[in-house]
Structure 1
Amino acid sequence: MSDFLGYAGKRVVVSGCFSGMGHATAKLLLDLGAEVHGLDFKACDLPLASFTQIDLRDPASIEAAAAAIEGPVDALFNCAGLPTSFPPMDIMKVNFIGLRHLTEQLLPKMRAGSAIANIASTGGLGWSRRIPDNMAFVTTQGWDAATAWCEQNAQTVAEGYAFSKENVIVWTQFMGARLIKQGIRINCTLPSPTETPMMKTFHEASGKDVVDAAAEPMGRYSTPEEQAGGLVLLNSALASIVNGVVLPVDGGFMGALATGQIDMSKLMGKRQG
Protein backbone atom coordinates (compact mmCIF):
# COMPACT_ATOMS: atom_id res chain seq x y z
CA MET A 1 0.00 0.00 0.00
CA SER A 2 1.37 3.42 -0.90
CA ASP A 3 1.82 5.80 2.02
CA PHE A 4 -0.36 8.58 0.64
CA LEU A 5 -1.64 9.43 4.14
CA GLY A 6 1.94 9.84 5.36
CA TYR A 7 1.86 7.77 8.54
CA ALA A 8 4.55 5.18 7.82
CA GLY A 9 7.21 5.42 10.51
CA LYS A 10 5.57 8.43 12.17
CA ARG A 11 5.34 8.58 15.97
CA VAL A 12 1.72 9.14 16.99
CA VAL A 13 -0.06 9.29 20.36
CA VAL A 14 -3.63 8.10 20.92
CA SER A 15 -5.46 8.78 24.18
CA GLY A 16 -8.47 6.59 24.92
CA CYS A 17 -7.01 3.61 23.06
CA PHE A 18 -8.67 0.98 25.27
CA SER A 19 -12.01 0.92 23.43
CA GLY A 20 -14.36 2.65 21.01
CA MET A 21 -13.11 5.31 18.62
CA GLY A 22 -9.69 5.50 20.25
CA HIS A 23 -9.12 1.76 19.89
CA ALA A 24 -10.27 1.84 16.25
CA THR A 25 -8.02 4.84 15.57
CA ALA A 26 -4.97 3.17 17.10
CA LYS A 27 -5.63 -0.01 15.09
CA LEU A 28 -5.97 1.89 11.82
CA LEU A 29 -2.76 3.80 12.49
CA LEU A 30 -0.92 0.54 13.17
CA ASP A 31 -2.22 -0.80 9.86
CA LEU A 32 -0.87 2.34 8.17
CA GLY A 33 2.62 1.74 9.55
CA ALA A 34 2.68 4.31 12.34
CA GLU A 35 4.57 3.93 15.60
CA VAL A 36 1.61 4.15 17.97
CA HIS A 37 1.90 5.13 21.63
CA GLY A 38 -1.29 4.60 23.58
CA LEU A 39 -2.65 6.28 26.70
CA ASP A 40 -5.67 5.17 28.70
CA PHE A 41 -6.93 4.37 32.17
CA LYS A 42 -7.29 0.72 31.11
CA ALA A 43 -4.71 -1.35 29.23
CA CYS A 44 -5.02 -1.72 25.45
CA ASP A 45 -4.84 -5.10 23.69
CA LEU A 46 -3.16 -3.77 20.52
CA PRO A 47 0.57 -4.28 19.70
CA LEU A 48 1.50 -0.69 20.50
CA ALA A 49 5.03 0.74 20.59
CA SER A 50 4.20 1.68 24.18
CA PHE A 51 1.23 1.91 26.50
CA THR A 52 1.08 4.23 29.50
CA GLN A 53 -1.73 4.31 32.01
CA ILE A 54 -3.14 7.79 32.42
CA ASP A 55 -5.84 9.41 34.52
CA LEU A 56 -7.00 12.54 32.73
CA ARG A 57 -8.54 13.77 35.99
CA ASP A 58 -5.06 14.08 37.50
CA PRO A 59 -2.52 16.60 36.17
CA ALA A 60 0.41 14.71 37.69
CA SER A 61 -0.65 11.54 35.86
CA ILE A 62 -0.93 13.47 32.60
CA GLU A 63 2.49 15.04 33.04
CA ALA A 64 4.12 11.70 33.84
CA ALA A 65 2.50 10.02 30.83
CA ALA A 66 3.58 12.82 28.48
CA ALA A 67 7.13 12.72 29.85
CA ALA A 68 7.30 8.98 29.16
CA ILE A 69 6.77 9.53 25.43
CA GLU A 70 9.97 10.37 23.60
CA GLY A 71 9.80 13.06 20.95
CA PRO A 72 9.20 13.98 18.32
CA VAL A 73 5.42 13.46 18.25
CA ASP A 74 4.08 13.71 14.71
CA ALA A 75 0.38 13.40 15.50
CA LEU A 76 -1.84 13.46 18.57
CA PHE A 77 -5.32 11.92 18.67
CA ASN A 78 -7.35 13.03 21.69
CA CYS A 79 -10.00 10.30 21.79
CA ALA A 80 -10.61 9.76 25.52
CA GLY A 81 -13.93 10.86 26.97
CA LEU A 82 -16.53 10.30 29.66
CA PRO A 83 -20.34 10.20 29.24
CA THR A 84 -22.98 11.79 31.48
CA SER A 85 -23.02 8.94 34.00
CA PHE A 86 -19.96 10.45 35.70
CA PRO A 87 -19.83 13.48 38.03
CA PRO A 88 -19.76 16.79 36.13
CA MET A 89 -16.27 17.73 37.32
CA ASP A 90 -14.83 14.37 36.24
CA ILE A 91 -16.45 14.85 32.83
CA MET A 92 -15.00 18.35 32.50
CA LYS A 93 -11.53 17.15 33.47
CA VAL A 94 -11.42 14.19 31.10
CA ASN A 95 -13.28 15.70 28.15
CA PHE A 96 -11.63 19.10 28.12
CA ILE A 97 -9.30 20.15 30.95
CA GLY A 98 -7.26 16.94 30.77
CA LEU A 99 -7.36 16.93 26.97
CA ARG A 100 -5.97 20.46 26.95
CA HIS A 101 -3.34 19.68 29.58
CA LEU A 102 -2.13 16.60 27.71
CA THR A 103 -1.92 18.56 24.49
CA GLU A 104 0.04 21.35 26.17
CA GLN A 105 2.45 18.81 27.65
CA LEU A 106 3.11 17.22 24.26
CA LEU A 107 3.28 20.40 22.17
CA PRO A 108 6.99 20.99 22.92
CA LYS A 109 7.64 17.61 21.27
CA MET A 110 5.68 18.53 18.15
CA ARG A 111 7.44 20.13 15.20
CA ALA A 112 6.23 21.90 12.08
CA GLY A 113 4.11 19.52 10.01
CA SER A 114 2.58 17.73 13.00
CA ALA A 115 -1.14 17.70 13.74
CA ILE A 116 -3.74 17.24 16.48
CA ALA A 117 -7.23 15.76 16.14
CA ASN A 118 -9.81 16.01 18.94
CA ILE A 119 -13.18 14.29 19.29
CA ALA A 120 -16.01 16.71 20.06
CA SER A 121 -19.72 15.86 19.76
CA THR A 122 -23.04 17.03 18.37
CA GLY A 123 -23.82 17.39 22.08
CA GLY A 124 -21.67 20.53 21.95
CA LEU A 125 -23.58 22.31 19.19
CA GLY A 126 -24.71 25.00 21.61
CA TRP A 127 -21.24 26.58 21.53
CA SER A 128 -22.23 29.30 19.05
CA ARG A 129 -24.89 30.62 21.45
CA ARG A 130 -22.53 31.20 24.37
CA ILE A 131 -19.16 32.14 22.97
CA PRO A 132 -18.40 34.57 25.86
CA ASP A 133 -18.62 31.72 28.40
CA ASN A 134 -16.67 29.35 26.20
CA MET A 135 -13.91 31.84 25.50
CA ALA A 136 -13.64 32.83 29.17
CA PHE A 137 -13.15 29.16 30.04
CA VAL A 138 -10.86 27.95 27.25
CA THR A 139 -8.49 30.89 27.76
CA THR A 140 -7.93 30.11 31.44
CA GLN A 141 -4.25 29.46 32.09
CA GLY A 142 -3.41 26.08 33.57
CA TRP A 143 -5.16 23.27 35.40
CA ASP A 144 -5.99 25.08 38.63
CA ALA A 145 -7.52 28.08 36.88
CA ALA A 146 -9.69 25.84 34.68
CA THR A 147 -11.00 23.77 37.59
CA ALA A 148 -11.63 26.92 39.64
CA TRP A 149 -13.62 28.43 36.76
CA CYS A 150 -15.82 25.31 36.65
CA GLU A 151 -16.41 25.42 40.39
CA GLN A 152 -17.34 29.11 40.21
CA ASN A 153 -19.66 28.55 37.22
CA ALA A 154 -21.38 25.30 38.17
CA GLN A 155 -24.68 26.40 36.62
CA THR A 156 -23.01 26.91 33.24
CA VAL A 157 -21.13 23.62 33.49
CA ALA A 158 -24.40 21.83 34.39
CA GLU A 159 -24.11 18.06 33.80
CA GLY A 160 -20.69 18.60 32.22
CA TYR A 161 -20.97 16.72 28.93
CA ALA A 162 -22.43 19.37 26.63
CA PHE A 163 -20.26 22.17 28.02
CA SER A 164 -17.10 20.05 27.83
CA LYS A 165 -17.75 19.26 24.17
CA GLU A 166 -18.62 22.88 23.36
CA ASN A 167 -15.22 23.84 24.65
CA VAL A 168 -13.40 21.19 22.62
CA ILE A 169 -14.98 22.84 19.58
CA VAL A 170 -14.20 26.43 20.61
CA TRP A 171 -10.67 25.65 21.83
CA THR A 172 -9.88 23.78 18.60
CA GLN A 173 -10.89 26.82 16.54
CA PHE A 174 -9.08 29.22 18.87
CA MET A 175 -5.85 27.22 18.87
CA GLY A 176 -6.00 26.64 15.12
CA ALA A 177 -5.15 30.31 14.55
CA ARG A 178 -2.29 30.13 17.05
CA LEU A 179 -0.62 26.79 16.42
CA ILE A 180 -0.53 27.19 12.64
CA LYS A 181 2.12 29.89 13.18
CA GLN A 182 4.32 27.02 14.42
CA GLY A 183 3.29 24.84 11.48
CA ILE A 184 1.08 22.66 13.71
CA ARG A 185 -2.52 21.96 12.73
CA ILE A 186 -5.43 21.22 15.08
CA ASN A 187 -8.93 20.06 14.12
CA CYS A 188 -11.83 18.19 15.68
CA THR A 189 -14.62 15.87 14.62
CA LEU A 190 -18.33 15.88 15.36
CA PRO A 191 -19.31 12.20 15.40
CA SER A 192 -22.82 10.99 14.80
CA PRO A 193 -24.11 8.46 17.37
CA THR A 194 -21.58 5.65 17.34
CA GLU A 195 -21.72 2.05 18.52
CA THR A 196 -19.28 2.30 21.41
CA PRO A 197 -19.48 1.10 25.03
CA MET A 198 -20.84 4.58 25.92
CA MET A 199 -24.04 4.16 23.87
CA LYS A 200 -26.06 2.59 26.69
CA THR A 201 -25.31 5.63 28.86
CA PHE A 202 -26.36 8.03 26.10
CA HIS A 203 -29.67 6.18 25.69
CA GLU A 204 -30.30 6.40 29.42
CA ALA A 205 -29.33 10.08 29.66
CA SER A 206 -31.03 11.47 26.55
CA GLY A 207 -33.52 8.84 25.48
CA LYS A 208 -33.13 6.45 22.57
CA ASP A 209 -35.49 8.54 20.40
CA VAL A 210 -33.21 11.58 20.71
CA VAL A 211 -30.08 9.59 19.91
CA ASP A 212 -31.81 7.91 16.97
CA ALA A 213 -32.89 11.29 15.61
CA ALA A 214 -29.24 12.40 15.63
CA ALA A 215 -28.44 9.34 13.49
CA GLU A 216 -30.56 10.66 10.63
CA PRO A 217 -30.58 10.89 7.64
CA MET A 218 -28.31 7.85 7.48
CA GLY A 219 -30.71 5.88 9.64
CA ARG A 220 -28.08 3.94 11.59
CA TYR A 221 -25.32 4.49 14.10
CA SER A 222 -21.78 4.84 12.83
CA THR A 223 -19.03 2.40 13.74
CA PRO A 224 -15.85 3.26 15.63
CA GLU A 225 -13.91 2.34 12.48
CA GLU A 226 -15.86 4.91 10.44
CA GLN A 227 -15.11 7.59 13.04
CA ALA A 228 -11.44 6.60 13.08
CA GLY A 229 -11.30 7.29 9.35
CA GLY A 230 -12.25 10.94 9.83
CA LEU A 231 -9.71 11.44 12.61
CA VAL A 232 -6.89 9.78 10.69
CA LEU A 233 -7.71 11.82 7.58
CA LEU A 234 -7.55 15.10 9.53
CA ASN A 235 -4.04 14.39 10.85
CA SER A 236 -2.78 12.99 7.55
CA ALA A 237 -0.45 14.46 4.96
CA LEU A 238 -3.42 14.82 2.61
CA ALA A 239 -4.99 17.39 4.94
CA SER A 240 -1.86 19.55 5.15
CA ILE A 241 -3.79 22.84 4.96
CA VAL A 242 -6.91 21.77 6.89
CA ASN A 243 -6.77 23.65 10.19
CA GLY A 244 -9.18 24.87 12.87
CA VAL A 245 -11.96 22.81 11.32
CA VAL A 246 -14.92 21.24 13.10
CA LEU A 247 -15.59 18.28 10.79
CA PRO A 248 -18.97 16.53 10.94
CA VAL A 249 -18.43 12.78 10.61
CA ASP A 250 -22.12 12.10 10.75
CA GLY A 251 -23.60 10.59 7.58
CA GLY A 252 -25.18 13.94 6.65
CA PHE A 253 -26.79 14.95 9.96
CA MET A 254 -25.45 18.51 9.99
CA GLY A 255 -26.45 19.12 6.40
CA ALA A 256 -29.93 17.73 6.99
CA LEU A 257 -30.27 19.82 10.15
CA ALA A 258 -29.24 23.01 8.36
CA THR A 259 -31.74 22.39 5.56
CA GLY A 260 -34.70 21.53 7.77
CA GLN A 261 -34.76 17.79 7.12
CA ILE A 262 -34.35 16.67 10.75
CA ASP A 263 -37.35 16.42 13.08
CA MET A 264 -36.40 19.05 15.65
CA SER A 265 -39.13 17.89 18.04
CA LYS A 266 -37.10 14.72 18.60
CA LEU A 267 -33.94 16.68 19.27
CA MET A 268 -35.13 18.76 22.18
CA GLY A 269 -33.12 16.61 24.59
CA LYS A 270 -29.35 16.77 24.92
CA ARG A 271 -27.74 15.40 21.80
CA GLN A 272 -24.86 13.02 22.45
CA GLY A 273 -22.29 12.11 19.78
Structure 2
Amino acid sequence: MVAFAEFKSKRVVVTGCSSGIGLATASALVDLGADVIGMSRRAPDVGLAEFHALDLTSVESIESAATSVDGEIDALFNCAGAPPTVPSVELVKVNFLGTRLLTEHLVERMSAGGAIANVSSSVACGWRTRLGQIRDFVETRSFEDGVAWYEENEHAVGHGYPFSKEALNVWTLQQSTTLIARGVRMNSTSPGAVQTPLMEVSEKVFPPELLAATEYPSGRRSGVEEQVQPLLFLNSARASYINGADIAVDGGYWASRSAEGAGSLW
Protein backbone atom coordinates (compact mmCIF):
# COMPACT_ATOMS: atom_id res chain seq x y z
CA MET A 1 0.00 0.00 0.00
CA VAL A 2 1.33 3.43 -0.95
CA ALA A 3 1.39 5.70 2.09
CA PHE A 4 -1.43 8.27 1.93
CA ALA A 5 -2.44 7.20 -1.58
CA GLU A 6 -5.93 8.52 -0.79
CA PHE A 7 -4.72 12.05 -1.55
CA LYS A 8 -4.46 11.23 -5.26
CA SER A 9 -6.67 13.65 -7.23
CA LYS A 10 -7.91 15.32 -4.03
CA ARG A 11 -8.11 19.13 -4.04
CA VAL A 12 -6.12 20.47 -1.12
CA VAL A 13 -5.06 23.95 -0.02
CA VAL A 14 -1.67 24.54 1.59
CA THR A 15 -0.84 27.94 3.06
CA GLY A 16 2.74 29.02 3.57
CA CYS A 17 3.65 26.79 0.61
CA SER A 18 6.83 28.68 -0.32
CA SER A 19 8.97 27.74 2.66
CA GLY A 20 9.54 25.42 5.60
CA ILE A 21 6.80 23.03 6.67
CA GLY A 22 4.36 24.46 4.14
CA LEU A 23 6.73 23.88 1.22
CA ALA A 24 7.52 20.35 2.37
CA THR A 25 3.79 19.60 2.79
CA ALA A 26 2.90 20.96 -0.63
CA SER A 27 5.75 19.00 -2.23
CA ALA A 28 4.68 15.77 -0.54
CA LEU A 29 1.08 16.22 -1.65
CA VAL A 30 2.11 16.94 -5.24
CA ASP A 31 4.15 13.73 -5.18
CA LEU A 32 1.06 11.88 -3.92
CA GLY A 33 -0.95 13.08 -6.91
CA ALA A 34 -3.08 15.68 -5.15
CA ASP A 35 -4.27 18.82 -6.89
CA VAL A 36 -2.48 21.29 -4.64
CA ILE A 37 -3.69 24.87 -4.36
CA GLY A 38 -0.82 26.80 -2.85
CA MET A 39 -1.10 30.10 -1.03
CA SER A 40 1.76 32.26 0.22
CA ARG A 41 3.46 35.59 -0.38
CA ARG A 42 5.49 34.13 -3.24
CA ALA A 43 5.10 31.14 -5.51
CA PRO A 44 7.27 28.08 -4.82
CA ASP A 45 9.05 25.96 -7.42
CA VAL A 46 6.58 23.09 -6.98
CA GLY A 47 4.09 21.59 -9.43
CA LEU A 48 0.99 23.24 -7.99
CA ALA A 49 -2.40 22.98 -9.64
CA GLU A 50 -3.04 26.60 -8.65
CA PHE A 51 -1.23 29.38 -6.82
CA HIS A 52 -2.83 32.39 -5.16
CA ALA A 53 -0.81 35.15 -3.53
CA LEU A 54 -1.66 35.43 0.16
CA ASP A 55 -0.71 37.97 2.80
CA LEU A 56 -2.32 36.93 6.08
CA THR A 57 -1.90 40.42 7.53
CA SER A 58 -4.28 41.84 4.91
CA VAL A 59 -8.04 41.24 4.87
CA GLU A 60 -8.14 42.23 1.20
CA SER A 61 -5.46 39.68 0.30
CA ILE A 62 -7.13 36.93 2.33
CA GLU A 63 -10.52 37.48 0.73
CA SER A 64 -9.00 37.70 -2.75
CA ALA A 65 -7.15 34.40 -2.30
CA ALA A 66 -10.19 32.66 -0.86
CA THR A 67 -12.57 33.78 -3.59
CA SER A 68 -10.06 32.79 -6.29
CA VAL A 69 -10.54 29.13 -5.40
CA ASP A 70 -13.35 27.58 -7.44
CA GLY A 71 -15.28 24.47 -6.50
CA GLU A 72 -14.96 22.17 -3.50
CA ILE A 73 -11.80 21.38 -1.58
CA ASP A 74 -11.09 18.22 0.37
CA ALA A 75 -8.46 19.38 2.85
CA LEU A 76 -6.79 22.49 4.20
CA PHE A 77 -3.27 22.60 5.63
CA ASN A 78 -2.73 25.87 7.52
CA CYS A 79 1.08 25.94 7.55
CA ALA A 80 1.74 29.67 7.11
CA GLY A 81 3.62 31.40 9.87
CA ALA A 82 5.96 34.26 10.69
CA PRO A 83 9.16 34.38 12.76
CA PRO A 84 8.88 35.59 16.36
CA THR A 85 11.15 38.50 15.42
CA VAL A 86 8.44 40.51 13.63
CA PRO A 87 6.18 42.93 15.58
CA SER A 88 3.80 41.13 17.94
CA VAL A 89 0.63 42.41 16.31
CA GLU A 90 1.82 41.11 12.93
CA LEU A 91 2.38 37.68 14.48
CA VAL A 92 -1.15 37.74 15.84
CA LYS A 93 -2.48 38.54 12.38
CA VAL A 94 -0.56 35.79 10.59
CA ASN A 95 -0.70 33.02 13.17
CA PHE A 96 -4.32 33.45 14.19
CA LEU A 97 -6.52 36.23 12.85
CA GLY A 98 -5.60 35.82 9.18
CA THR A 99 -5.61 32.05 9.44
CA ARG A 100 -9.05 32.17 11.06
CA LEU A 101 -10.50 34.44 8.39
CA LEU A 102 -9.12 32.38 5.51
CA THR A 103 -10.38 29.15 7.07
CA GLU A 104 -13.84 30.61 7.60
CA HIS A 105 -14.01 31.31 3.87
CA LEU A 106 -12.57 28.00 2.69
CA VAL A 107 -14.47 25.71 5.05
CA GLU A 108 -17.66 26.66 3.21
CA ARG A 109 -16.21 24.80 0.21
CA MET A 110 -15.83 21.57 2.19
CA SER A 111 -18.36 18.76 2.37
CA ALA A 112 -18.53 15.75 4.67
CA GLY A 113 -15.17 14.02 4.81
CA GLY A 114 -13.20 17.28 4.66
CA ALA A 115 -10.38 17.93 7.10
CA ILE A 116 -8.30 20.84 8.36
CA ALA A 117 -4.88 20.66 10.01
CA ASN A 118 -3.44 23.74 11.71
CA VAL A 119 0.25 24.12 12.51
CA SER A 120 0.59 25.49 16.04
CA SER A 121 3.75 25.33 18.18
CA SER A 122 5.18 23.77 21.31
CA VAL A 123 5.44 27.29 22.76
CA ALA A 124 1.62 27.24 23.05
CA CYS A 125 1.74 24.49 25.67
CA GLY A 126 0.67 26.86 28.45
CA TRP A 127 -2.69 27.84 26.96
CA ARG A 128 -4.67 26.22 29.81
CA THR A 129 -3.18 28.65 32.34
CA ARG A 130 -4.90 31.68 30.78
CA LEU A 131 -7.88 30.20 29.02
CA GLY A 132 -10.19 33.06 29.98
CA GLN A 133 -8.07 35.68 28.22
CA ILE A 134 -7.60 33.50 25.18
CA ARG A 135 -11.32 32.83 24.88
CA ASP A 136 -12.03 36.57 24.99
CA PHE A 137 -9.62 37.07 22.11
CA VAL A 138 -10.75 34.06 20.07
CA GLU A 139 -14.36 35.16 20.36
CA THR A 140 -13.73 38.55 18.75
CA ARG A 141 -16.05 38.79 15.78
CA SER A 142 -13.73 40.04 13.06
CA PHE A 143 -10.11 40.45 11.98
CA GLU A 144 -10.24 44.13 12.89
CA ASP A 145 -11.84 43.45 16.28
CA GLY A 146 -9.10 40.92 17.01
CA VAL A 147 -6.35 43.40 16.18
CA ALA A 148 -7.95 46.02 18.41
CA TRP A 149 -8.33 43.51 21.27
CA TYR A 150 -4.68 42.50 21.11
CA GLU A 151 -3.40 46.08 20.91
CA GLU A 152 -5.46 46.94 23.97
CA ASN A 153 -4.40 43.86 25.94
CA GLU A 154 -0.83 43.23 24.76
CA HIS A 155 0.60 44.30 28.09
CA ALA A 156 -1.46 41.63 29.85
CA VAL A 157 -1.11 38.70 27.43
CA GLY A 158 2.46 39.26 26.32
CA HIS A 159 4.41 38.48 23.19
CA GLY A 160 2.36 37.81 20.08
CA TYR A 161 4.07 34.57 19.10
CA PRO A 162 3.09 32.26 21.97
CA PHE A 163 -0.23 34.05 22.48
CA SER A 164 -1.28 33.70 18.84
CA LYS A 165 -0.39 30.01 18.84
CA GLU A 166 -2.31 29.49 22.09
CA ALA A 167 -5.30 31.18 20.47
CA LEU A 168 -4.95 28.87 17.46
CA ASN A 169 -5.07 25.85 19.77
CA VAL A 170 -8.17 27.02 21.61
CA TRP A 171 -9.92 28.00 18.37
CA THR A 172 -9.13 24.58 16.91
CA LEU A 173 -10.80 22.93 19.91
CA GLN A 174 -13.86 25.13 19.63
CA GLN A 175 -14.27 24.76 15.87
CA SER A 176 -13.78 21.01 15.91
CA THR A 177 -16.90 20.55 18.03
CA THR A 178 -18.96 22.61 15.57
CA LEU A 179 -17.60 21.47 12.22
CA ILE A 180 -17.91 17.76 12.98
CA ALA A 181 -21.70 18.10 12.70
CA ARG A 182 -21.04 18.72 8.98
CA GLY A 183 -18.57 15.85 8.78
CA VAL A 184 -15.54 18.16 8.68
CA ARG A 185 -12.70 17.49 11.12
CA MET A 186 -10.20 20.01 12.53
CA ASN A 187 -6.98 19.14 14.35
CA SER A 188 -3.55 20.65 14.92
CA THR A 189 0.08 19.77 15.35
CA SER A 190 2.51 21.50 17.69
CA PRO A 191 6.03 21.33 16.28
CA GLY A 192 8.99 21.81 18.55
CA ALA A 193 12.35 23.00 17.27
CA VAL A 194 12.34 22.58 13.48
CA GLN A 195 15.19 23.42 11.13
CA THR A 196 13.45 25.88 8.81
CA PRO A 197 14.18 29.39 7.49
CA LEU A 198 12.11 30.73 10.42
CA MET A 199 14.52 29.02 12.81
CA GLU A 200 17.46 30.59 10.99
CA VAL A 201 15.94 34.02 11.64
CA SER A 202 15.41 33.16 15.31
CA GLU A 203 19.04 32.08 15.66
CA LYS A 204 20.14 35.61 14.87
CA VAL A 205 18.21 37.23 17.72
CA PHE A 206 17.57 34.70 20.49
CA PRO A 207 20.18 33.39 22.96
CA PRO A 208 21.58 29.98 21.96
CA GLU A 209 20.69 28.57 25.39
CA LEU A 210 16.99 29.44 24.86
CA LEU A 211 16.88 27.70 21.50
CA ALA A 212 18.83 24.73 22.89
CA ALA A 213 16.26 24.34 25.67
CA THR A 214 13.53 23.75 23.08
CA GLU A 215 15.47 20.70 21.85
CA TYR A 216 15.19 18.95 25.22
CA PRO A 217 14.94 15.97 25.79
CA SER A 218 15.61 14.67 22.26
CA GLY A 219 18.76 16.74 21.90
CA ARG A 220 18.06 17.75 18.32
CA ARG A 221 15.79 19.67 15.98
CA SER A 222 13.42 17.93 13.63
CA GLY A 223 13.62 18.13 9.88
CA VAL A 224 10.62 19.51 8.01
CA GLU A 225 9.80 16.06 6.64
CA GLU A 226 9.23 14.81 10.19
CA GLN A 227 6.52 17.45 10.56
CA VAL A 228 4.79 16.62 7.28
CA GLN A 229 3.83 13.03 8.05
CA PRO A 230 1.64 13.88 11.10
CA LEU A 231 -0.10 16.60 9.06
CA LEU A 232 -0.84 14.19 6.23
CA PHE A 233 -2.12 11.64 8.72
CA LEU A 234 -4.50 14.08 10.42
CA ASN A 235 -6.06 15.12 7.11
CA SER A 236 -6.25 11.57 5.75
CA ALA A 237 -9.04 9.02 5.97
CA ARG A 238 -6.87 7.06 8.39
CA ALA A 239 -7.61 9.69 11.01
CA SER A 240 -11.36 9.66 10.37
CA TYR A 241 -12.23 9.51 14.09
CA ILE A 242 -9.62 12.00 15.26
CA ASN A 243 -11.13 15.43 15.84
CA GLY A 244 -10.11 18.33 18.06
CA ALA A 245 -6.71 16.79 18.79
CA ASP A 246 -3.32 18.43 19.01
CA ILE A 247 -0.33 16.23 18.25
CA ALA A 248 2.93 17.33 19.85
CA VAL A 249 5.65 16.76 17.23
CA ASP A 250 8.43 18.05 19.43
CA GLY A 251 10.69 15.17 20.42
CA GLY A 252 9.17 15.12 23.91
CA TYR A 253 9.54 18.82 24.77
CA TRP A 254 5.96 19.26 25.95
CA ALA A 255 6.06 15.98 27.85
CA SER A 256 9.18 17.11 29.70
CA ARG A 257 7.67 20.48 30.60
CA SER A 258 4.49 18.80 31.81
CA ALA A 259 6.39 16.27 33.92
CA GLU A 260 8.26 19.12 35.58
CA GLY A 261 5.06 21.09 36.19
CA ALA A 262 6.38 23.89 34.01
CA GLY A 263 4.80 25.82 31.18
CA SER A 264 6.29 27.29 28.03
CA LEU A 265 9.74 28.85 28.15
CA TRP A 266 8.18 32.07 26.90
TM range (shorter): over 0.9
Q: Deviations over 1:7-36 (max 9, x none)?
A: 111000000000100000001111111110
The TM-score with structure 1 as length reference comes to 0.92
> Which amino acid is the alignment partner of residue 190 of structure 1?
S
Contact 1:71 1:110 in 2 (8 A): no
The TM-score with structure 2 as length reference comes to 0.94
Is 1:253 equivalent to 2:222 in the alignment?
no
Contact 1:84 1:205 in 2 (8 A): no
2:198 aligned partner: 198
Q: Aligned pair in 2 of structure 1 residues 189, 3: CA closer, same or farther (>3 Å)?
A: closer
2:150 aligned partner: 150
Residue 151 of structure 1 deviates from its aligned partner by 2.0
Alignment of 1:56-75 (within 5 A): 56-75=56-75
Separation in 1, partners of 2:133, 2:229 = 32
Separation in 2, partners of 1:157, 1:33 = 43
Does the residue aligned with 2:77 lie in a helix, a strand or coil?
strand
Q: Aligned pair in 2 of structure 1 residues 268, 172: CA closer, same or farther (>3 Å)?
A: closer
Residue 254 of structure 1 deviates from its aligned partner by 2.5
Separation in 1, partners of 2:93, 2:207 = 25
Q: Deviations over 1:57-100 (max 9, x none)?
A: 11111011011111211000001111221111111101100000
Separation in 2, partners of 1:188, 1:204 = 28
> Which amino acid is the alignment partner of residue 237 of structure 1?
A
Separation in 1, partners of 2:201, 2:3 = 38
Identity, % of aligned positions: 43
> Which amino acid is the alignment partner of residue 56 of structure 1?
L
Is 1:233 equivalent to 2:246 in the alignment?
no
> Which amino acid is the alignment partner of residue 196 of structure 1?
T
> Comparing 36-45 with 245-254, which one deviates more in the overlay?
245-254
Does the residue aligned with 1:30 lie in a helix, a strand or coil?
helix
Is 1:33 equivalent to 2:36 in the alignment?
no
Q: Aligned pair in 2 of structure 1 residues 228, 156: CA closer, same or farther (>3 Å)?
A: farther
Q: Which structure 2 residue ranges, 5 or more long, are not aligned?
A: none
Q: Which structure 1 residue ranges, 5 or more long, are not aligned?
A: none
Residue 215 of structure 1 deviates from its aligned partner by 1.4
Q: Aligned pair in 2 of structure 1 residues 178, 5: CA closer, same or farther (>3 Å)?
A: farther
RMSD over aligned Cα, in angstroms? 1.8
Does the residue aligned with 1:70 lie in a helix, a strand or coil?
coil
Separation in 2, partners of 1:98, 1:193 = 23
Contact 2:114 2:185 in 1 (8 A): yes
Residue 203 of structure 1 deviates from its aligned partner by 3.1
Does the residue aligned with 1:215 lie in a helix, a strand or coil?
coil
Residue 206 of structure 1 deviates from its aligned partner by 4.0
1:160 aligned partner: 160
Is 1:95 equivalent to 2:81 in the alignment?
no
Residue 201 of structure 1 deviates from its aligned partner by 3.0
Is 1:79 equivalent to 2:79 in the alignment?
yes
Q: After the TM superposition, which segments of 4 or more aligned residues of structure 1 sit over 4 Å from their partners?
A: none
Does the residue aligned with 2:126 lie in a helix, a strand or coil?
helix
Separation in 2, partners of 1:205, 1:119 = 23
Residue 128 of structure 1 deviates from its aligned partner by 0.6
